[in-house]
Structure 1
């Protein structure tokens, strides 16, 4: 049964980490290198992640600076940023690309809160599906008479406690991100 608990904990932790990664990619009013993490640049015929081609820094709270190691790909990096769905406009001086992250409008903030809530709900659904799978494993152990009925109920209670902990963590992550987005 400990294996079932560990498996459930590991999978729920991955769901939480995935949510936090998605939250980092969301554009709030503040600059973050995580905003450009998903951008891939065509480099010698290969789609390469931007962070493997350039130094990414945040010189000011609303500016991302990208300094490609190979200055011949500045144009490609710029195209990749424009093609991305970030809605950011890069400016380049031939060697360095700067991206100014504009402050969010009130309407955009409300839209972002809806997106953040939807992501949190999807993470909760994933955690609940993991709970269901763990409970199925416990029922199978009971059917095969490897555990008693009392052990089955105790195990299901433990799985529920683990689930409640992770749901609480997801709610906390949501509340933190919501506060960050609504902060002016």
Structure 2
């Protein structure tokens, strides 16, 4: 019974960390990364679609993103969507592909991005703590129903706490790595 609760908690904590990693990819560091455009949606034939479903995204060099749409008629819509997004990027349309030159970040912008990364990390920690609370509540319910002893319940809660500590430590490592990447000149 406790193992099931523990396994479920572990899966949810891992999922919180995966969401954090995915969210951190969308933060623009000093180098070009196609994941920056993941949240940009383009109006295409009356439907909102992500850029990566309309075009091939590549990075020919560390400071340039290249967007090559499969349908040339989507060039204008993609360009408009990038300009509308809050990424602060300026697309250059040559009629075949869109090139985006990633400007070097100012120190002020780097600090803002670090704060944002820390906030995302804190949100992930809150999610992990919520998973811990739910798992501990489940253990208490099982104990109250008389399915496990008080000692087993305490042991289960200790194991859940160890999982929580491990997951929070991993979140800190992921955020620290992203901070280092952002502050890299």
What TM bracket, shorter-length normalisation?
over 0.9
1:35 aligned counterpart, secondary structure: helix
The answer for the alignment partner of 1:120 in structure 2 is 121
User: Is 1:111 aligned to 2:112, yes or no?
Assistant: yes
TM-score by length of 2: 0.98
Return the offset for 1:112.
1.1
Return the offset for 1:166.
0.3
The answer for the alignment partner of 1:25 in structure 2 is 26
For each residue in 1:67-116, what CA deviation from the matched residue of structure 2 results, as whole angstroms up to 9, or x when unmatched? 00100110000001011110100000011000011010011111111111
For each residue in 1:116-174, what CA deviation from the matched residue of structure 2 results, as whole angstroms up to 9, or x when unmatched? 11111111111011100000000000000000000000000100111011001001001
The answer for the alignment partner of 1:72 in structure 2 is 73
Q: Any unmatched runs of 5+ in structure 1?
A: none
Return the offset for 1:4.
0.3
TM-score by length of 1: 0.98
1:168 aligned counterpart, secondary structure: helix
1:135 aligned counterpart, secondary structure: helix
The answer for the alignment partner of 1:93 in structure 2 is 94
Q: Any unmatched runs of 5+ in structure 2?
A: none
The answer for the alignment partner of 2:164 in structure 1 is 163
Q: Distance in 2 between matches of 1:36 and 1:112?
A: 16
Q: Distance in 1 between matches of 2:126 and 2:72?
A: 45
Q: Distance in 2 between matches of 1:116 and 1:52?
A: 26
